[in-house]
Amino acid sequence: MKLRFDGGGSSSEAIGEYGINAAQYGDLQPRLQAARTALKQAWDDSVLGFFECPDTDPQPIMDWAAKIAPNFTDQIVIGIGGSSLGTRAVLESYAGELNGLRTHVTENVDPSTYLALLDSVDLSKTLFIVITKSGTTIETMAKFWIAYDRVLEELGEDAVATNFVGITDPKAGSLRPLSAELGFKTWSVPPNVGGRFSVLTPVGLVPLALAGYPIDELLNGAKACRDAVFATEPGQATLERCAADHYLLHQKGYAQTVMMPYADRLDALSEWFCQLWGESLGKAKNRAGEIVNVGLTPVRALGVIDQHSQVQLYAEGPRDKHVVFLQLEDFGTDVNVPGRSGFPGALSHIQNKSLSKILTAELDGTQAALTAAGRPTSRWVFSDGNPVEIGAFIFAWEYVTAVMGELFDINAFDQPGVEGGKLIAHGLLGKSGYEEHARVVEGANRNVMSIV
């Protein structure tokens, strides 16, 4: 494993008064140490299950996947948010050949894309993975019942038991008894692991194993990262230094975190990060119940594409963004720009240069330009994005997020702001007892004007 973190671009040595100095790090040390102590206690008390996920034995899942996969050609993962983003991010990061099921992740409830997906597969050879911890996720269960009716109509009742798998709470929720009634296999989500922290549970491991992804290596990377943290003195781990960077920059007014991979196959990792960061840290109240309205807004960008659409803002706009670059050193393949006559003189210097060299030069140039403009940056470097590195990256950001919650003195593991919208949606869809929630929309001010 060669995943590295470089936070030098956020230091006062790099960007002067806008950066973080040694004294500020020193002043934060007692709080970093207290954060480690609190999180370790929560792990010991089995309150925060994400610490335990790297110790998952992958063999039962791998054995089951090896047995079931030959009966199918495709799997459709029905989930949303924490039930899908991690799986998709890990799969898309993989550069090698996967010899398992073709994997389709359906998240939104757009009827056109969902129906097109169902029409594109052979239902008799398609396994549906239904993921919802509560069993009451509107989007997931709506699409489950549509798929269920399709399978029932085309293949009959017996196919329901063989073509569906549920991943849900081991005891609570509605999907558990429903799956027992319909006779399909279920896997359990640990009750002490929240959705956005769940990719290293069956939520991610089951569909990844069915796809042929080496989940044992993914877990090994996460475990190595976790153990590296706790092998250091509290407050001294690299990931605690990373959390300190984000917290101290927030104190200076940097309220947005831009994650910008310079590799297409790392792009979905930034999408996974956005949910983890935004939902965990955006909170109205601290633990004392005081209104704080704290949070760091996550922003997705992709190099080099967004050099041409967003970097102008990052370099010369408000000083409120910390740009986190993701670099891939070895793409596993490459190609050179040809050297030939007739090449434009203004670009002759790129002849015989590889695309990966051009991409890296663009990354280095963008970071250097932001540094020259006094804008904080940091960089995560992957050797080749292998599963061990991806597992380490996932645990790393889960831990950094947890430390940030301690520094902000908030609960990083709930999401009360999301629940309000769900209640209103239930009311608008006619759920009994939710009429009062629906009236919030009915009484909303509208100012609708024609465009064409």
What mean pLDDT do residues 22-45 have?
97
The pLDDT of 294-311, averaged and rounded, is: 97
| Tens of pLDDT, residues 189-236 | 999 999 999 999 999 999 999 999 999 999 999 999 999 999 999 999
| Average pLDDT of the segment spanning 57-78 | 98
- Calpha distance 144→152 (Å, rounded): 12
Task: Indicate if the pLDDT at residue 123 is higher than 80.
Answer: yes
How do residues 308-329 score in pLDDT, each as one tens digit? Answer: 999 999 999 999 999 999 999 9
Given a contact cutoff of 8 angstroms between Cβ atoms, the answer to whether 301 and 260 are in contact is yes
Query: Alpha-carbon Rg of the chain, whole angstroms?
Result: 24
Kindly indicate the confidence band of residue 262, based on its pLDDT and cuts at 50, 70 and 90: very high
- Mean pLDDT (the chain, rounded): 94
pLDDT score for 1:
58
pLDDT score of 445:
67
Model confidence at 423: pLDDT above 80: no
Is residue 444 very low, low, confident or very high in pLDDT (cuts 50, 70, 90)? low
- Please, are residues 28 and 248 in contact by the beta-carbon 8 Å criterion? yes
Span(s) in the chain for CATH 3.40.50.10490: 4-40+219-338+346-408, 51-216
Residue 377, pLDDT score = 98
Phi, psi for 164 (deg, rounded to 5): -125, 145
Q: Which two tokens stand for residue 441?
A: 């929309």
Distance of CA 87 to the CA centre of its chain: 9
CA distance 189 to 192: 9
Which range, of 41-45, 364-368, 383-387, 427-431, averages the lowest pLDDT? 427-431
Over residues 182-195, the pLDDT tens digits come to 999 999 999 999 99
User: What confidence category does residue 172 fall into, taking pLDDT thresholds of 50, 70 and 90?
Assistant: confident
* Catalytic residue selected from 153, 308, 349, 442: 308
Question: Is residue 436's pLDDT more than 90?
Answer: no
Block residue for tokens 């008894």: 177
Is 437 a residue of the active site? no
Spatial separation of the C-alpha atoms in residues 396 and 401, rounded to whole Å: 9
Which of residues 95 and 452 earns the better pLDDT score? 95
Assigned architecture for domain 51-216: 3-Layer(aba) Sandwich (3.40)
Contacts with 441 (C-beta within 8 Å, 6 or more apart), sequence order: 424, 428
Rounded to two decimals, what is the model's pTM? 0.95
Candidate list 279, 389, 398, 406, residue with the active-site label: 279
Which pLDDT score, from 0 to 100, does residue 452 have? 85
Does domain 4-40+219-338+346-408 fall under CATH 3.40.50.10490? My reply is: yes
pLDDT tens digit string along 364-376? 999 999 999 999 9
Largest CA distance in the chain: 75
Does 64 score more than 70 pLDDT? yes
422 is catalytic: yes
Going by DSSP bridges, is the β-strand pair 297-300/4-6 parallel, antiparallel, or unpaired? unpaired
- Flag whether pLDDT at 251 surpasses 90: yes
